[in-house]
Structure 1
Amino acid sequence: MPRLLHYSDIENVYDDPVRVGRLAGAVRSLDGPDAVVCGSGDDTAPGVLSLIERGRQALDFFRAVDADVETFGNHDFDYGPAAARDLVADAPQTWLSANVFDADGERFAGDHVAPATVIEVDGARLGFFGVTDPATPSLNPMAGDIRVTDPYEAAAEAVASLRERDVDYVVAVSHLGGGDDELVRRVDVDLVLGGHVHAERRERVTGTPLLRPGANGHVIFEVRLGDGIDVVRHETGDAPVAEDVVEALEGRVDAAGLDEVVARVAEPLDRSEETVFGGECRLGNFVADAYRWSLGADVGLQNSGGIRNGPPLSGDVTVADLVSVIPFEEHVVRAEVTGAELREIARESAASVVDFGEPGWWHGHFSGLSVRWDDGSDELLSVRVGGEPIDPERRYTIATSAYLLHTDHEFPTLGERHRAGEGDIQFEVLAAYAREFGVGAAVEGRVRRYGADEAESALRGESE
């Protein structure tokens, strides 16, 4: 019986050598001549060690698990197209991409990347193809001049070519996130190994299994292809440790000189997905406060997706810890907006407004600004700056990530036209603020979300 071993979005797993050792050990313990090891993107970045080594730390893991196929996630371009080409050229697995191209229309890294491939295993012919979110150039400013075409048209072409090669199964290796549903509605595939969205998923749409193992290597899926398609979920926390992987990665973060202690945290700051995307949280407040302080702005703004999941900040907090919170080489910038635009930016914190990520997510963390939101009617109840109602005609300054001026997927009201200045790199700002003020942020009621029966009393309280 052929089997597939699926991981995705392992991102900052490399920052903990034992954790990546357990992930590698889990894959090895399940591997065999009847198995194909598959990754579905964002398996090279972001993270602290990834930032230091430009994604190449992933090669140690890929070689250790004898990876077979991989596709591109948006973060696999975090260090630019040239770094991605070099990494792909040195990686052991076959990289699959039906819809990523260079600016001249040639397939990206064409000598090392194919739209589709066939692997014969345990008496079966398995056809694989790869697709990437077409929003990647918007989601990642470092993606440069790459072109990402319509994934569904590219998938249809790849599937047709695989069917002509008389395969027993067609498997999509996808970094489309929520686009996987549309993929199976439009294209005849037998299975989707997905990624991009960090929430786990194991369900069928139009009869086709759609899988996402979540982020950071905590889970891998074992897919058994027999009379039907069966899926077994494996947690990696208790897996045997691949000691050779630990030895290969151990000490490489410390060697980069990021071990300076900048603050001490008495009460751990949680950065789980549930906390960061749930509304106001201590870590989000800390980041937004640091941005606002660094540029003397009216408002600080941090997008939830820019805060990477990981273990809580606790005890001695080092520069490396703060890099792990936001492991990107992007600057904090000053934007100048009208009061009307600022109100719209606050409204765009709700997933229901921007249609980005999972339903119910909250995308904005603020400093100097308070928001009241009605979850029942998806309505902004009030916004205040410095405790005062927004003046629609007044101009306000926002300190935020340069990324939010680039992308149109989060806070689309913000754009490059609003840029009015630039500060230091994000994690440098966090470290400077932590040295000065510590990391003792509290939840203060900056963001309050109400059910339908609470909204009226909330508004009445605001006016009293």
Structure 2
Amino acid sequence: MVRLLHYSDIENLFDDAERAGRFAGRLRERDGEDALVVGSGDTTAPGVVSMAASGRQILDFADAVDTVADTFGNHDFDYGPDATRAIVADSEFTWVSANTRDEDGDPFGAEEGVVPWTIAEADGERVGFFGVTDPTTDSINPHAAPLTFTDPYEAAAEAVTELREEGVDYVVALSHLGGGDDELARRVDVDAILGGHVHSVRTEYVDDTLCTRPGVNGHEFVEVELGTDDAAAARGDGGVAASARVIDPSEGPVHEALTDALERRRESAGLTETVATVDEPLARTDETTFGGESRIGNFVADAYRAAADADVGLQNGGGIREGPPLSGEVTLADLVSVLPFEEPVVVVELSGRELLEVFSEADGAELDFGEPHWWHAHLSGASLRWDHEAGELLDARVDGEAIDPDRRYTLATAEYLLHSDHEFPTIEQRHRAGEVGIQHDVLADHARRGGLNVDVEGRIVFES
């Protein structure tokens, strides 16, 4: 039997040095001769420490936990392909990717050490790992636009064939496909799929293949057993019984060396200025991010609209990163942690008809990196009534007035939405009319003007 210790989407874990130290300490505690530590993407970014270190804090972490292999998530290209190549070149562990191509169409990072698959040994048994990344990454991350992501299922099938020919005992996918993991389980002969991208925890079987996800920001990791004697475990296409359990790292011993390294990196960010004081904390949880109107969502959307003097402010739910509430003295680092991207706020011009289309795209049911119940729009200057059961827009207003289909409206939002074909696809580059500054700077300016004193006002109303 081999155990796999699986982490993914650890993103802003590094912004809390002690919690990151406990996460690493718990992983080390669970490690052993029969175990291998692996990641499945979005392990370098985003976050405050990540921005200060250009993602290189993953090297501190991987050294601390003795990572064996990882693959690329969409955020692992947040600082551009060259920064990712530099991280790969300096990594002691192996980056695996079977479907990422560089600017010339060749396998990405091959010179720096990226391979389609690798083999690691634990307790005398050989485990083959291959990596696949969401093929839409070049559209959901503008910094990855020069790259190409080929069909992950064809790439996976080729990698599996080669690994089986190598005579490994187990074949495991390190996947950043999100909702595509189910299709992967149906199409390839693997013993387990260790996934990410979607931020909910998962330990399920699809066609008798174990599929796992550890959630986001290092609140859990997953321990997988391959070749287990557990009678309840399913047997995948490879004929191997596999089971999993979720591990809470919060009570783990602190890995002091990692904690110290991360504290030094955070200090180097130089973002300690207090910009505002908050009496009533602004929560930023899964519920406030994707559950509809929230104070944190209203603050961000208000900041955009005020900076651009636009008719409407719009923030996509996934852009707001979960973390500790904004409370007491709020620093620049706190606001960077809300939107840890070097990305401008842009102004777009839309007809009333197009604006109604944008509002109709706020439901999250169609996104393969989301959950069916997610809501994706935080708004300023506008109000919506939405029928959750029917999944349709009932009414939309701007400044209290019905939207005129023939009028031109200005909307301030994150530049990301001009590149994405998946969230609010009606907004395109052709609508761009200007920009007003980097997101977290816009938030800081609005906070200084009292913008954190915000309430839930009925901007978004759900009916059924």
TM-score by length of 2: 0.96
Paired positions, count: 451
Gaps of 5+ in 1: 452-464
Q: 1:385 to 1:356 in 2, by over 3 A?
A: farther
Question: Can you list the C-alpha shifts for 1:383-423, whole angstroms capped at 9, x where unaligned?
Answer: 00000000000000000011111111100000000000111
Query: Residue 184 of structure 2 aligns with which residue?
Result: 183
The question of whether the paired residues in 2 share the 8 Å contact of 1:338 and 1:393 is answered with yes
Which residues of 2 match residues 397-408 of structure 1 at below 5 A?
397-408=410-421
The question of whether the paired residues in 1 share the 8 Å contact of 2:303 and 2:451 is answered with no
1:316 and 2:329 are equivalent in the alignment: yes
In structure 1, C-alpha distance between the alignment counterparts of 2:197 and 2:133, rounded to whole Å? 9
Deviation, 1:438, is 3.8
Query: Residue 454 of structure 1 aligns with which residue?
Result: none
1:174 and 2:182 are equivalent in the alignment: no
Query: Residue 22 of structure 1 aligns with which residue?
Result: 22
Deviation, 1:232, is 2.2
1:84 and 2:97 are equivalent in the alignment: no
SS for the counterpart of 2:20 is helix
Which residues of 2 match residues 224-239 of structure 1 at below 5 A?
224-226=225-227, 227=229, 228-239=241-252
Query: Residue 460 of structure 1 aligns with which residue?
Result: none
Query: Residue 150 of structure 2 aligns with which residue?
Result: 149
In structure 2, C-alpha distance between the alignment counterparts of 1:45 and 1:352, rounded to whole Å? 25
Question: Can you list the C-alpha shifts for 1:39-69, whole angstroms capped at 9, x where unaligned?
Answer: 0000000000101110011111011111100
Query: Residue 433 of structure 2 aligns with which residue?
Result: 420
Deviation, 1:327, is 0.3
Query: Residue 291 of structure 2 aligns with which residue?
Result: 278
In structure 2, C-alpha distance between the alignment counterparts of 1:105 and 1:255, rounded to whole Å? 37
SS for the counterpart of 2:12 is helix
Which residues of 2 match residues 256-267 of structure 1 at below 5 A?
256-267=269-280
- Of 121-130 and 293-302, more deviation after overlay is shown by 121-130
SS for the counterpart of 1:444 is coil
Query: Residue 63 of structure 1 aligns with which residue?
Result: 63
SS for the counterpart of 1:108 is coil
1:376 and 2:377 are equivalent in the alignment: no
Which of residues 356, 362, 368 is equivalent to 2:375?
A: 362
Deviation, 1:354, is 5.7
SS for the counterpart of 2:379 is strand
SS for the counterpart of 1:423 is strand
Question: Can you list the C-alpha shifts for 1:280-322, whole angstroms capped at 9, x where unaligned?
Answer: 0000000000000001000000000000011111111001000
In structure 2, C-alpha distance between the alignment counterparts of 1:42 and 1:416, rounded to whole Å? 26
Which residues of 2 match residues 423-438 of structure 1 at below 5 A?
423-438=436-451
In structure 1, C-alpha distance between the alignment counterparts of 2:367 and 2:264, rounded to whole Å? 41
The question of whether the paired residues in 2 share the 8 Å contact of 1:129 and 1:155 is answered with yes
Query: Residue 74 of structure 1 aligns with which residue?
Result: 74
In structure 2, C-alpha distance between the alignment counterparts of 1:441 and 1:136, rounded to whole Å? 34
SS for the counterpart of 1:224 is strand
The question of whether the paired residues in 1 share the 8 Å contact of 2:48 and 2:269 is answered with no
Deviation, 1:145, is 1.1
Question: Can you list the C-alpha shifts for 1:43-98, whole angstroms capped at 9, x where unaligned?
Answer: 00000010111001111101111110000000000000000000011011111000
In structure 2, C-alpha distance between the alignment counterparts of 1:163 and 1:356, rounded to whole Å? 30
Amino acid at match of 1:392: P
SS for the counterpart of 1:253 is helix
Amino acid at match of 2:348: A
Question: Can you list the C-alpha shifts for 1:438-464, whole angstroms capped at 9, x where unaligned?
Answer: 41111000001112xxxxxxxxxxxxx
The question of whether the paired residues in 1 share the 8 Å contact of 2:275 and 2:448 is answered with yes
TM-score by length of 1: 0.96
Query: Residue 457 of structure 1 aligns with which residue?
Result: none
Q: 1:352 to 1:4 in 2, by over 3 A?
A: closer
In structure 1, C-alpha distance between the alignment counterparts of 2:156 and 2:383, rounded to whole Å? 44
Q: 1:114 to 1:354 in 2, by over 3 A?
A: closer
The question of whether the paired residues in 1 share the 8 Å contact of 2:350 and 2:408 is answered with yes
Q: 1:95 to 1:270 in 2, by over 3 A?
A: same
In structure 2, C-alpha distance between the alignment counterparts of 1:138 and 1:331, rounded to whole Å? 17
Deviation, 1:200, is 0.6
In structure 2, C-alpha distance between the alignment counterparts of 1:402 and 1:335, rounded to whole Å? 10
1:288 and 2:289 are equivalent in the alignment: no
Deviation, 1:355, is 6.2
Question: Can you list the C-alpha shifts for 1:115-144, whole angstroms capped at 9, x where unaligned?
Answer: 011222212221110000000000100114
In structure 2, C-alpha distance between the alignment counterparts of 1:360 and 1:218, rounded to whole Å? 21
Percent identical: 61
In structure 2, C-alpha distance between the alignment counterparts of 1:39 and 1:346, rounded to whole Å? 36
In structure 2, C-alpha distance between the alignment counterparts of 1:102 and 1:334, rounded to whole Å? 31
Question: Can you list the C-alpha shifts for 1:340-393, whole angstroms capped at 9, x where unaligned?
Answer: 000010110011366661101000000000010001111110000000000000
Query: Residue 103 of structure 1 aligns with which residue?
Result: 103
SS for the counterpart of 2:19 is helix
The Cα RMSD (Å) is: 1.1
SS for the counterpart of 2:454 is coil
In structure 2, C-alpha distance between the alignment counterparts of 1:205 and 1:354, rounded to whole Å? 20
1:117 and 2:130 are equivalent in the alignment: no
Gaps of 5+ in 2: 230-240
